[in-house]
A and B are shown apart, each in its own frame.
Chain A
């Protein structure tokens, strides 16, 4: 998946859900918490978005600022999850041969 396209989908979601269409000032590295953008209920929305939109499962221990506190971090986390899912799937195919 193209990183730029993923980041754009995340940005669009953040914009539509938390900014009501006024997101120009938010940098990809800006902390959602420090900028007061997302609270604990907002994190539930973000998790639901990632799970529904990208078909991943965000585990309780993964719901951390390290993974979800900026567009960059969400994008990296998502890439790791999707890469992990692809590796697991490829492993199963090899085992099945």
Chain B
């Protein structure tokens, strides 16, 4: 009789030494041989993903072949640049600061976003802050319907459900941020004949937590196969500064602090990792309950949510569709 091994967070353990060797060899092959570029451009946000990508690229290509970019805007956390600089200094890599706020203002990013928020909260204006949140999808079987949380200049908070027009308006406007950053990364890539490194991890890549032609665009994606908890394991091995390893993951897109669980994932990231792993390995919902400290209907709900997000992500992953050639 065979006894099934209980599933636990250990299922996501990797050998960081071997994985680093494997990834760095692949980066060298991709950048120098396949793409025929002289180095890598990396937008560093001070978060764990972009920091790990920078450290991996430094090992693969040497620091002199790196161009690190800090691209804050009006809603960025003050920590983003400071921690980004810490990465560049740790690696001895060249870096540049590009404040993207003027470009965003030129594109009317903030104005368009605020007009959309005012569809739900008419008084929203100067001095207000906002973020987009999802309900807790574990508590009950409900749809992932977005609300906006606004904070008045006096500090009073309100949460209002968004209409389709308001939600799409806010997302379309804020997506300028990721696309503007990518535009600048390719400016440097063209200037230096470098390749652009993508920073999405497997959870983001799988669940469509990226902007098409924004942070989803890149010439190579060194950690798109790694679950978030595996990125943390590599960070510890690579010596990413402790403060970055301890920093709670955030989208750094809205003026109110917003966790990734709040915006996109309804579970702590390490648990979400395990659920995606379970889906990928055909593990029954019942067999994940103990490791996740959830009951079976909750795990089944997460599985449905994963499927639903994968369906939505298909468009984000889709390459341009070539039309059939004209008949002669």
Q: Which of A36, A63, A66 contacts B145 (CB 8 A)?
A: A63
Give Cα A58–Cα B146 distance, bound, in whole angstroms: 14
Task: Tell me whether A64 and B167 are in contact in the complex, defined as CB-CB below 8 angstroms, given that A33-B308, A39-B308 are known contacts.
Answer: no
A43 and B143 contacting across the interface, CB-CB below 8 Å? yes
Which chain A residue has the least Cβ–Cβ distance from B310? A36
* A40 sits at the interface (CB 8 A): yes
* B21 sits at the interface (CB 8 A): no
Total residues of chain B contacting the partner, CB 8 A: 19
Q: Which of B140, B141, B145, B304 contacts A40 (CB 8 A)?
A: B145
Which segment of B2-10, B157-165, B197-205 sits at the interface?
Answer: B157-165
Which chain B residue has the least Cβ–Cβ distance from A66? B141
CB contacts (< 8 Å) of A41 on chain B: these are: 164, 167-168
Chain B interface (Cβ < 8 Å from any Cβ of A):
135, 140-147, 161-164, 167-168, 304, 308, 311-312
Work out how many contacts link A and B, with CB atoms closer than 8 A.
Answer: 43
24 A-B pairs with CB atoms under 8 Å apart are A33-B304, A33-B308, A39-B308, A40-B143, A40-B144, A40-B145, A40-B308, A40-B312, A41-B164, A41-B167, A41-B168, A43-B143, A44-B145, A44-B162, A44-B167, A45-B164, A48-B163, A60-B145, A60-B147, A61-B140, A63-B142, A64-B140, A64-B142, A65-B141
Give the Cβ gap from A39 to chain B, nearest Cβ, in Å: 5
Report, as a range, how many residues of chain A touch the other chain: 10 to 19
CB contacts (< 8 Å) of B147 on chain A: these are: 60
Task: Tell me whether A39 and B311 are in contact in the complex, defined as CB-CB below 8 angstroms, given that A33-B304, A48-B164, A60-B161 are known contacts.
Answer: yes
Give Cα A68–Cα B304 distance, bound, in whole angstroms: 16
Task: Tell me the residues in window 30-60 of chain A with beta carbons closer than 8 Å to chain B beta carbons.
Answer: 33, 36, 39-41, 43-45, 48, 60
CB contacts (< 8 Å) of B163 on chain A: these are: 44, 48
CB contacts (< 8 Å) of A39 on chain B: these are: 308, 311-312
Give the Cβ gap from B305 to chain A, nearest Cβ, in Å: 10
Chain A interface (Cβ < 8 Å from any Cβ of B):
33, 36, 39-41, 43-45, 48, 60-61, 63-66, 68
Which chain B residue has the least Cβ–Cβ distance from A41? B164
Which chain B residue has the least Cβ–Cβ distance from A39? B312
Give Cα A39–Cα B309 distance, bound, in whole angstroms: 8
A40 and B146 contacting across the interface, CB-CB below 8 Å? yes
CB contacts (< 8 Å) of A45 on chain B: these are: 164
A64 and B141 contacting across the interface, CB-CB below 8 Å? yes
Give the Cβ gap from A52 to chain B, nearest Cβ, in Å: 11
Give Cα A28–Cα B147 distance, bound, in whole angstroms: 30
